Amino acid sequence: MRVLVVEDFEVLARTLGTGLRREGMAVDVVLDGDDALERLAVTRYDVVVLDRDVPGTHGDDVCRRIVADRAGSRVLMLTASSTVKDRVEGLGLGADDYLPKPFDFAELVARVRALGRRPTALVPPVLECDDLTLDPARRVASRGGRRLDLSPKEFGVLECLLAAQGRPVSAEDLLERVWDEAADPFTTAVKTTVRRLRTKLGDPPVIHTVREGGYRVGAP
Residues that bind DNA (CB under 7 A): 149, 151-154, 171, 179, 183-184, 187-189, 191-196, 198, 209-213
64 touches, from DNA, a copy of itself, none (C-beta below 5 to 8 Å by class):
none
Distance from chain centroid for Cα 42: 14
Query: Minimum distance between the CB of residue 150 and DNA, rounded to whole angstroms?
Result: 7
Q: Using CB distances below 5 to 8 A depending on partner kind, what does residue 33 bind out of a copy of itself, DNA, none?
A: none
Cα dihedral 14, 15, 17, 22, rounded to 10, equals 140
Minimum distance, C-beta of residue 119 to a copy of itself, in the bound complex (Å) = 5
Site string for a copy of itself, 64-93 (x = CB under 8 A): --------x-x---------xx-xx--xx-
DSSP states of 75-123 = EEEEES---HHHHHHHHHTT-SEEEESS--HHHHHHHHHHHH-PPPPPP
Which option in a copy of itself, DNA, none does residue 71 bind, with CB closer than 5 to 8 A by kind? none
| Cβ neighbours for 219, distance < 8 A, ≥ 6 positions apart | 166
144 binds, among DNA, a copy of itself, none (CB under 5 to 8 A by kind): none
Please tell me the distance from the alpha carbon of residue 157 to that of residue 197, in angstroms, as a whole number.
9
